[in-house]
Amino acid sequence: MNTSIIAAGKDLQWKDSLTTESSLVRRLLIAAAFLYLTLFLFVPLVAIFSEALKHGLSGYIESFFNEDALAAIRLTLLVAAVAVPLNAVFGVAAAWAIAKFEFVGKQALITLIDMPLAVSPVIAGLIYVLLFGAQGWLGTWLAEHDIKIIFALPGIVLATIFVTVPFVARELIPLMQSQGREEEEAAITLGASGWQMFRRVTLPNIKWSLLYGVILCNARAMGEFGAVSVVSGHIRGLTNTMPLHVEILYNEYNAVSAFAVASLLTLLAIVTLSAKVLIERKTASPDRLKSRR
Amino acid sequence: MSIQVEHVTKRFGTFTVLDDVTLRVEAGELVALLGPSGCGKTTLLRILAGLERPDQGRIFLHGAEVTDQRITERRVGFVFQHYALFRHMTVAENVAFGLTVQPRAQRPSATRIQEKVRELLTLVQLQAMADRYPSQLSGGQRQRVALARALAVEPKLLLLDEPFGALDAKVRKELRRWLRRLHDELHITGILVTHDQEEALEAADRVVVMHQGHVEQIGTPDDVYEHPASPFVYQFLGDVNVFHGRTVQERTLADIPPLPEVDSVVSADVMDEHEVTFVRPHDLEVNRSRTNPSQLEATVRYVLTAGSRVRLELTAEDSGQTIEVELTKERYRELNLREGEVVFVHPRHRQVFKIPQS
Beta bridge partners of B211: B214
Put simply, the chain A residues between 163 and 182 with a CB less than 8 A from any chain B CB are 182
Asked if A251 is an interface residue toward chain B (Cβ–Cβ < 8 A), one would say: no
Residues B17/B11, Cβ–Cβ less than 8 Å: yes
Is the CB of residue A290 less than 8 Å away from at least one CB of chain B?
A: yes
Number of H helices, E strands in chain B: 11, 18
CA dist., res. A277 & res. A286, Å (int):
14
- The CA distance from B124 to A242, in Å, is 61
Residue B204: the pLDDT is 93
Chain A partners of B77 at a C-beta cutoff of 8 Å? 189
Residue of B nearest to A185 (CA): B51
The predicted complex's ipTM stands at: 0.79
Alpha-carbon distances, residue A10 vs A6, A15, A175, A208 (angstroms): 6, 9, 43, 44
What b-and-e string marks burial along A36-75, b requiring 16 or more CB atoms within 10 Å of the CB?
Answer: eeeeeeeeeeeebbebbeeeeeeebeebeeeebbebbbeb
Is A196–B84 a contact, with Cβ atoms under 8 angstroms apart?
A: no
Q: Quick one: pLDDT at residue B280? A: 87
Stretch (H or E) spanning B189? strand B189-194
Q: How many CB pairs under 8 A join A and B?
A: 67
Q: How far is A192 from chain B (nearest CA, A)?
A: 5
CB contact (8 A) between residue A190 and residue B97: yes
Which of the residues B76, B78, B106 would you substitute to probe the A interface, choosing the one with the greatest number of A C-beta atoms within 10 Å?
B78
Of A185, A191, A193, the CB nearest to B84: A185
- Cβ-defined contact of B101 to A193 (cutoff 8 Å): yes
Q: Identify which of A201, A204, A287 has the shortest CB distance to residue B136.
A: A287
Taking an 8 Å cut-off on Cβ atoms, the answer to whether B101 and A196 are in contact is yes
Contact between B72 and A201 using a beta-carbon 8 Å cutoff: no
Percent of chain B with pLDDT over 90: 49
Check B80 against A193: CB less than 8 A apart. Answer: no
pLDDT at A4: 47
Interface residue A247 vs chain B (CB under 8 A): no
Residues of A whose CB is below 8 A from B145: none
Look at residue A161 and tell me whether its pLDDT is greater than 90: yes
pLDDT value, residue B274: 66
Query: What per-residue confidence (pLDDT) applies to B263?
Result: 35
Confidence of residue A233 (pLDDT cuts 50, 70, 90): confident
CB B193 within 8 A of CB B25: no
Cα of A164 to nearest chain B Cα, Å: 29
Q: Region A7-25: what's the mean pLDDT?
A: 62
Listed in sequence order, the residues at least 6 apart from A127 whose beta carbon sits closer than 8 Å to its beta carbon are A162
The chain B residue lying nearest A292, using CA atoms, is: B132
pLDDT at A110: 92
Which of B45, B69, B101 to substitute to test the interface with A, most A CBs within 10 Å?
B101
Residues of A in contact with B113 (CB under 8 A): none
Q: What percent of chain B has pLDDT over 70?
A: 91
Closest in A191, A204, A291 to B72, CB measured: A191
Mutate which of B43, B46, B72 to test chain A, going by most A C-beta atoms within 10 A?
Answer: B72
Q: Which residue in B43, B73, B97 has the most chain A C-beta atoms within 10 A of its own C-beta, making it the best mutation to test that interface?
A: B97
Strand duo B157-161 + B189-194: pairing: parallel
CB under 8 Å to B277, separation ≥6 — which residues? B242, B243, B244, B245, B258, B350, B351, B352
Determine the 3-state secondary structure of B127 from DSSP.
helix
Q: Could you give the CA distance from residue A241 to residue A125 in angstroms, rounded to a whole number?
A: 14
Q: Please give the angle made by the CA atoms of B190, B191 and B192, to the nearest 5 degrees.
A: 120
Contact at CB, B97 and A200, closer than 8 angstroms? yes
Burial B25-54 (b: 16+ CB within 10 A, else e): beeebbbbbbbeeebbbbbbbbbbbbbbeb
Residue B297 — very low, low, confident or very high, per pLDDT cuts 50/70/90? confident
Which residue of A178, A182, A185, A190 to mutate against B (max B Cβ within 10 Å)? Answer: A190
Q: Which residues of A touch B80 (CB under 8 A)?
A: 182, 185-186
Residue A198, chain B, CB below 8 Å: the answer is no
Name the interface residues of B facing A (CB cutoff 8 Å).
Answer: 49-51, 71-72, 76-78, 80, 82, 84-88, 97-98, 101-102, 133, 135-136, 146, 149-150, 152-153
**Residue A202 Cα, gap to closest chain B Cα (Å):** 10
- Of residues A189, A193, A290, nearest to B78 (C-beta): A189
A189 vs B86: CB contact, 8 Å cut-off? no
> pLDDT digits over B153-211, tens only?
988 899 999 998 888 888 888 888 988 988 888 888 999 999 999 899 999 999 999 99
pLDDT value of position B353: 77
| Nearest CA-CA distance, residue A89 and chain B, Å | 22
Q: Is the pLDDT of residue B256 over 50?
A: no
> What is the CB-side half-sphere exposure of residue A214 using CA atoms within 13 A?
17
Task: Return the exposure string of B310-323: e unless at least 16 CB atoms fall within 10 Å of the residue's CB, then b.
Answer: bbbbbebeeeebeb
Closest B-chain CA to A283: B88
Q: Please report, rounded to a whole number, the percentage of residues in chain A having pLDDT higher than 90.
A: 51
pLDDT at residue number B245? 62
Q: Using DSSP, state whether B204 is helix, strand or coil.
A: coil
C-alpha separations of A196 from A177, A204, A274, B100 in Å: 20, 12, 33, 10
Disruptive mutation site among A189, A199, A289 for chain B (greatest number of B CBs within 10 Å): A189
A138 touches B: beta carbon within 8 Å: no
- Which residue from B minimizes the CA distance to A287? B135
Note whether A183 contacts B136, CB cutoff 8 Å: no
Average pLDDT over residues A176-191: 92
Helix axes A121-132, A153-179, angle to 10 degrees: 130
pTM above 0.80, yes or no: no
CB < 8 Å to B51, chain A: 185, 188-189
B82 and A182 within 8 Å at the Cβ level: the answer is yes
What pLDDT sits at residue B267?
29
Q: Does A192 touch chain B (CB under 8 A)?
A: yes
Model pLDDT for residues A93-148, shown as the tens digit of each residue: 999 999 988 889 999 999 999 999 999 999 989 999 999 988 888 888 888 888 88
Q: How high is the pLDDT of residue B276? A: 75
